[in-house]
Amino acid sequence: MEEIIQEVELDYKPRDVFLDFHDRTQRWAVIVAHRRCGKTVSCLNDMIFRALIEGKEDGRYAYVAPYYSQAKNVAWDYLLRFSKPVMAKANQSELWVELINGARIRLFGADNADSLRGLYLDGIVLDEYADMRPRIWGEIIRPLLADRNGLNGFKTWAVFIGTPKGHNAFFDIYNNATKDPDWYVKVLRASQTGLLPQAELDDARKVMSEDQYLQEMECDFESAILGAYFGKEMRQLTDQGRIRDIEYDPMFPVHTAWDLGYSDDTAIWFFQVVHGEIRCLDYHYSNGQPVAFYAGVIQSREKERGYKYGYHYLPHDARAKTLASNRSVIEQLSDKIALKSLKIVPNLSLQDGIQASRLALTRTWFDHKCEDGIECLRQYQREYDEDKKVFRDKPRHDWTSHGADAFRYLSIVWKDEARIAQKDDPIRGLFVGQTDVSLNDLWKDTKVKTAGRI
């Protein structure tokens, strides 16, 4: 039987700046692009084209935006429009399109990245990666591309796209890619692409701050993150090398500071106070887990890393009883953790807590294991009023909120631990050489058990 070949024309004409992107041979790609340059449209069409020509059985491809609602608002209409000539069916409730060869393209939000677990992928686009959790790539997405690499002669692949937001995970991806020939790298600055009229750029520059313009239009990673609460402090501690490997000091207790999320994240900082320094040893966050799970996290750190705990600091709402169990968080934690080690953080105002965080950051050191928490602090931002074009005096609630709030609680209580440490009795003993310890001191400090008179 003669094979029937059907010619299909996609309704997409690539812009000149994306031609070499569509012709790339590298498995990985990163595009740093100015606003309104068409990067989302280009990447969706690139995905449709590759899903067709790769011809993998039950091919699976994903587009991920920082939020599920954002993926729907930004990409869904584009996906429907450009896949129409080769679409077999679509599901609007689950945001996927199936092509005529059985390949499926689906939209996801990084705010619920766990929904990707258990899937396999042949290709993925991560849009506005600077607004996503740093570990979403390594912990969740990269493993999904492992088992079908090379299938049907095509490698699995990933594309990172976005606009800079300081030295965060997107910067690390870009910076490392520039040194690796296995990566395709593209930087599209508004002053160079010619995609936006010069008059429009001039007008934008009049109403945008210098940092805003350089970040959004000129793809400048060095510009300050707009509206960031701790931008100055985080830049300083990074420049001073206070993000490094930190060893646990068994001479001092490890404390934890929590922020509880009942429907979203719970964040926990593990820290020591050593001679006036705050040393953040570890950071944990999870989503939608019961209280017993977090008690298990505390116990596992104790077992695996030898932590000896001091106090576990909880927000004031940890006293409230839940309707489901009629027990407070403190009551539930006390099943696994000693009640005497659980403390409630004083209920300071948000602004006072943020100021306390700024002061605490001037003497804080972070271990590399705190990567996600560090990124929360870097990107913790004020809410922006689109109508008045100003930043409000309250934080934007997003994935950074719980990590930043937990650090705020840490900042409120760490001085108490420093004062307790200063009140500790000095360690005394016998020394070779010069010593200030007298024989009377040794007798006084030595408890003698007597069995009675003979």
Strand partners, 266: 286
Q: Is the CB of residue 51 less than 8 Å from the CB of residue 14?
A: no
- Count CA atoms within 13 Å of residue 142 on its CB side: 7
Which 8-state DSSP code applies to residue 187?
A: E
Question: How many residues appear in the chain?
Answer: 454
pLDDT at 443 over 50: no
pLDDT of residue 23: 96
Average of pLDDT values for 341-360? 93
Q: Are 16-216 and 231-423 the same fold in CATH?
A: no
pLDDT digits (tens, 9 = 90+) for 259-308: 987 666 899 999 999 999 999 999 999 887 888 899 999 999 999 999 99
Q: What is the 3-state secondary structure (H, E, C) of 263-281?
A: CCEEEEEEEEEECCEEEEE
- Strand ranges, E, within 306-433: 309-314, 342-344, 364-367, 382-385, 390-395
pLDDT of residue 389: 59
pLDDT digits (tens, 9 = 90+) for 107-150: 999 988 888 998 999 999 999 999 998 889 999 999 999 999 99
pLDDT of residue 323: 59
Helices and strands: H and E segment counts in the chain: 16, 17
The class of domain 16-216 in CATH terms is alpha beta
Q: Helix or strand or coil: residue 23?
A: coil
Q: Which residues contact 428 (CB under 8 A, 6 or more apart)?
A: 437, 441, 442, 445
Q: Given 3.30.420.280, 3.40.50.2300, 3.40.50.970, 3.20.20.80, which CATH number is that of 231-423?
A: 3.30.420.280
* Mean pLDDT score across all residues of the chain: 88
- Where along the chain do its domains lie? 16-216, 231-423
Q: Is the CB of residue 270 less than 8 Å from the CB of residue 308?
A: no
pLDDT digits (tens, 9 = 90+) for 373-408: 999 999 899 887 766 656 778 898 888 999 999 999
pLDDT digits (tens, 9 = 90+) for 305-349: 999 999 999 998 888 877 566 788 899 999 999 999 999 999 889
Q: Alpha-carbon distance 61 to 107, whole Å?
A: 9
pLDDT at 441 over 60: no
Higher pLDDT, 3 or 114: 114
Residue 333 Cα distances to 152, 313, 337, 412, 413, angstroms:
52, 12, 6, 22, 20
